[in-house]
């Protein structure tokens, strides 16, 4: 019995130390770099991800969100969603996921610029809880 408890404790600790991995429908794997290194996102409007393609190739990809888009969401949310909100990491991740699904390849130069927000981005902003 003690051996089972010890094994469960080790497995639980390992699961907590692994970052969350998002898998796209076409088998790309996305991990937020801040989760991988255990830090907060360091750049406002720029977010880094480690992406693995279905063949095992890994690339660090930066997603940048156009500052006017950030200002638009801030204004529409009555400043409830600031440029430092976790909303933006989620938004960047969704746009990267969409790009990988639609193009089935890494973005050129490992960079993706989100120039315009989608209606889904705006809808999510309305429902986003304020960060503490």
Query: What is the CATH number for 46?
Result: 3.30.160
Examine residue 6 and state whether it is found in any structural domain, yes or no: no
Report the alpha-carbon angle 70-76-78, nearest 5: 100
The residue range of the domain holding 42 is 21-127
Interval 19-76: pLDDT, tens = 889 999 999 999 999 888 766 665 677 999 999 999 999 999 999 999 998 888 888 8
Q: Is 68 inside any structural domain?
A: yes
Q: Is residue 80 situated within a structural domain?
A: yes
Domain count, the chain: 1
Interval 68-105: pLDDT, tens: 988 888 888 877 887 788 899 999 999 999 999 999 99
φ and ψ of 112, to 5 deg: -135, 125
């Amino acid at each position: 019995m003690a051996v089972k408890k010890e094994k469960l404790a080790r497995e639980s600790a390992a699961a907590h130390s692994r970052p969350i991995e998002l898998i796209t429908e076409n088998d790309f794997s996305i991990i937020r770099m801040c989760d991988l290194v255990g830090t907060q996102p360091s750049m406002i409007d720029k977010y880094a991800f480690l992406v693995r393609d279905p063949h095992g190739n890994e690339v660090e990809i930066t997603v940048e969100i156009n500052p006017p888009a950030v200002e638009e969401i801030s204004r529409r949310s009555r400043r409830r969603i600031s440029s430092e909100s976790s909303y933006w990491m989620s938004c960047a991740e969704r746009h990267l996921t969409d790009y990988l699904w639609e193009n089935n390849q890494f973005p050129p130069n490992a960079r993706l610029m989100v120039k315009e927000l989608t209606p889904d981005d705006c809808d999510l902003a309305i429902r986003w809880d304020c960060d503490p």
